[in-house]
């Protein structure tokens, strides 16, 4: 099966500019996640969708970050305006459902953002 | 609150050496435990998992046992290869609907020939 697709792979912008990342999950996966991975740290969940509804966005900086998942398939994560500390890899993941009590996520390759 | 702690890295080993990467967690109840791996230039992928106490997850020669009494899920491999060079993340997911997967900081493993 095709994996989780993300674009762009790399993006360099100046602070206060805006940027958008796109994710196409595995076909049939109901749950979609966006994680932020800052260099030297583990991924941190930004937002979780179940179909096209938000399940958890408690760690999303809502003053500058937004995300949507129209029609419950593709998703877009936007940052506006960007700050230097937003430099990170943005990971998209999807999951079918809980498997034997453990929710197995499939990750995309990530979008690396550098803010200058 | 819920958290996971990994040993500090990086770790450099010679090929065929024994590997142990420590991971401990703090959580109520019986979380599910995972090891994810990130090879250079690739996305995170699941290496192994365990869903209840005393379960042993295994894959590609790696093993980890869910130890409830020590709240640990240490990753081991008897003989590492150069191709095992990657970043390894311990993670856990608390019980309950819509609970979220929480990752440790990750540890970089370099295996030299």
B23 vs A: CB within 8 A: no
Average pLDDT of chain B, as a whole number: 92
**Per-residue pLDDT, A40:** 85
Q: How far apart are CA B37 and CA B55, in angstroms?
A: 20
Q: How far apart are CA B88 and CA B105, in angstroms?
A: 9
Rounded to an integer, the average pLDDT of A13-41 is: 94
Q: How far apart are CA A19 and CA A59, in angstroms?
A: 19
Higher model confidence: residue B64 or residue B3?
A: B64
Distance from CA of A108 to the nearest CA of B (A): 5
CB contact under 8 A, B104 and A42: yes
Q: How confident is the model at residue A101 (pLDDT cuts 50, 70, 90)?
A: low
Q: How far apart are CA A85 and CA A106, in angstroms?
A: 26
Higher model confidence: residue A66 or residue B9?
A: A66
What phi-psi label fits residue B61: left (phi over 0), alpha (psi between -120 and 50 degrees) or beta?
left
Q: Given CA atoms B54, A33, B27, B105 in this order, what sign does their dihedral have?
A: positive
Higher model confidence: residue A1 or residue B24?
A: B24
Q: Which residues of A touch B91 (CB under 8 A)?
A: 42
Helix, strand, or coil (residue B10): coil
Q: Is the pLDDT confidence value at A100 over 60?
A: no
B53 vs A: CB within 8 A: no
Nearest to B60 by CA among B35, B41, B42, B33: B35
Q: How confident is the model at residue B94 (pLDDT cuts 50, 70, 90)?
A: confident
**pLDDT tens per residue across span B32-84:** 999 999 998 888 999 999 988 999 999 999 999 999 999 999 999 999 999 99
Q: How confident is the model at residue B97 (pLDDT cuts 50, 70, 90)?
A: low
Rounded to an integer, the average pLDDT of A9-34 is: 95
Rounded to an integer, the average pLDDT of B96-108 is: 85
CB contact under 8 A, A107 and B106: no
**pLDDT tens per residue across span A85-96:** 999 999 999 998
Distance from CA of A45 to the nearest CA of B (A): 8
Q: How confident is the model at residue A51 (pLDDT cuts 50, 70, 90)?
A: confident
Q: Token match 């690739």: residue?
A: B42
Nearest to A95 by CA among B16, B2, B101, B19: B101
- Residues 6 or more apart whose CB falls under 8 angstroms from that of B100 comprise A45, A48, A56, B93
From the list A3, A55, A102, which residue is nearest B98 (CB)?
A: A55
């Amino acid at each position: 099966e095709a994996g989780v697709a993300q674009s762009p792979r790399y993006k360099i912008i100046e602070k206060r500019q805006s940027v958008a990342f796109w994710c196409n999950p595995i076909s049939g996966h109901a749950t979609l996640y966006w994680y932020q991975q800052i260099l030297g740290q583990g991924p941190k969940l930004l937002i979780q969708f179940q179909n096209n509804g938000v399940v958890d966005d408690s760690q999303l900086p809502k003053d500058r970050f937004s995300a949507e998942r129209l029609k419950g398939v593709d998703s877009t994560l936007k940052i506006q305006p960007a700050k230097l500390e937003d430099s990170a890899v943005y990971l998209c993941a999807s999951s079918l459902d809980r498997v034997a009590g453990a929710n197995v996520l499939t990750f995309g390759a990530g979008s690396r953002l550098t803010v200058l | 609150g819920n958290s996971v702690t990994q040993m500090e890295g990086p770790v450099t080993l010679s090929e065929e050496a024994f590997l142990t990467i420590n991971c401990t967690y703090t959580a109520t109840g019986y979380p599910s435990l995972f090891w994810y791996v990130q090879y250079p230039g690739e996305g995170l992928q699941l290496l192994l998992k365990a869903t209840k106490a005393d379960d042993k997850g295994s894959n590609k020669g790696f093993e980890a046992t869910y130890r409830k009494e020590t709240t640990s899920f240490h990753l081991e491999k008897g003989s590492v290869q150069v191709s095992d060079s990657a970043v390894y993340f311990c993670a856990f997911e608390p019980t309950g609907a819509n609970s979220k997967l929480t990752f440790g900081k990750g540890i970089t493993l370099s295996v030299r020939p």
